Chain A
Amino acid sequence: MKALARLRAVRRPEASSQARRAVRVAVVLGAVAFASAPYWLGGTYFPDIWIDMGLWGIIGVGLNVVIGFAGLLDLGYMAFYAIGGYVFANAALYHGFNLWETLPIGAVVALVSSAIIGFPTLRVRGDYLAIMTLGFGGIVYFAAENLTALTGGVNGLYGWKTPSLLGHPFVTPLDFYPFVLALLVVAALVTMHLRTSRIGRAWACIKDDEIAAAASGIPIVRYKLYAYMLGSVWAGLAGALFAAKEALISPESFTFDASFFAVAIVVLGGMGSISGVIIGGIFYVVIAEWLSAYTGTLGGVIFAALLLLMVLLRPQGLIPYRPTFNRRRLLRYGLPEPPVVADDYRLGP
Chain B
Amino acid sequence: MTTALAPEPLLAVSDLSVSFGGVQALAEVSFSLQRDEILGIIGPNGAGKTTLFNVVSGLVKDYRGSVAMGGVDLRGKSPQRIVGLGLRRTFQNVRLFKSLSVIDTVLAGQHLTIRESVFDSAFRTPRYHRQESIAVQRAQQVLAFVGLGHVAPGDMATSLPYGGQRRLEIARALAGYPKVLMLDEPAAGMNATESRSLGTMIRRIAATGIGVLLVEHDMRVIMSVCDRIVVLNFGRMIAQGTPEEIRSDPAVVRAYLGDEVGA
Contact = CB atoms under 8 A, between A and B. Distances in A.
B145 A324 contact: no
B149 interface: yes
A204 B89 contact: no
Contacts of B150: 340
Interface stretch (A132-140, A214-222, A259-267): A214-222
A345 B209 CA distance: 9
Nearest to A346: B208
B136 A348 contact: no
Contacts of B80: 214, 217-219
Contacts of A219: 80
B77 to A, nearest CB: 12
Given A208-B100, A324-B101, A349 B137 contact: yes
Given A335-B137, A338-B149, A339-B149, A323 B95 contact: no
Contacts of B147: 342
Interface in B85-138: 88-89, 91, 95-104, 107-109, 111-112, 114, 116, 118, 120-124, 128-129, 131-138
A209 interface: yes
B140 A204 contact: no
B81 to A, nearest CB: 9
Nearest to A347: B208
B176 A230 contact: no
A340 B132 contact: no
Given A198-B121, A334-B140, A343-B144, A204 B108 contact: yes
B21 interface: no
B247 interface: no
Contacts of A207: 99
A325 interface: yes
A333 B133 contact: yes
A344 B176 CA distance: 19
Given A198-B111, A209-B95, A343 B141 contact: yes
A317 interface: no
A310 interface: no
B122 A215 contact: no
Chain B interface size, as a band, is 35 or more
B78 to A, nearest CB: 8
Nearest to B102: A325
B154 interface: yes
Given A197-B132, A334-B137, A216 B172 contact: yes
How would you classify the secondary structure of chain B's contact residues: helix, strand, loop or mixed?
helix
A329 B136 contact: yes
Contacts of A226: 118
Given A219-B80, A349-B134, A338 B144 contact: yes
B93 to A, nearest CB: 11
A189 to B, nearest CB: 9
A16 to B, nearest CB: 15
Nearest to B203: A345
Contacts of A324: 101, 154, 156
A269 to B, nearest CB: 17
A143 to B, nearest CB: 29
Contacts of A348: 137-138, 140-142, 145
Contact of B154 (A190, A325, A340): A325
A193 B124 contact: yes
B207 interface: yes
B124 A323 contact: no
B83 A339 contact: no
B254 interface: no
A208 B98 contact: yes
A339 B132 contact: no
Contacts of A209: 95-98
A330 B57 CA distance: 33
A194 interface: yes
Contacts of B112: 216-217
Interface in B195-238: 201, 204, 207-208
Contact of B118 (A194, A332, A333): A194
A202 B89 CA distance: 17
A325 B145 contact: no
Nearest to A226: B118
B84 interface: yes
B44 interface: no
Nearest to B82: A217
A324 B155 CA distance: 7
Contacts of B208: 345-347
A333 B176 contact: no
A237 B102 CA distance: 36
A338 B152 CA distance: 11
Contacts of B97: 204-205, 208-209, 212-213
30 contacts: A190-B122, A194-B118, A194-B122, A197-B120, A198-B121, A200-B121, A201-B104, A204-B108, A205-B97, A205-B100, A211-B95, A212-B91, A216-B108, A217-B80, A217-B112, A217-B176, A323-B99, A323-B101, A325-B104, A325-B153, A329-B136, A333-B135, A333-B136, A339-B141, A340-B150, A342-B145, A345-B207, A345-B208, A347-B208, A348-B138
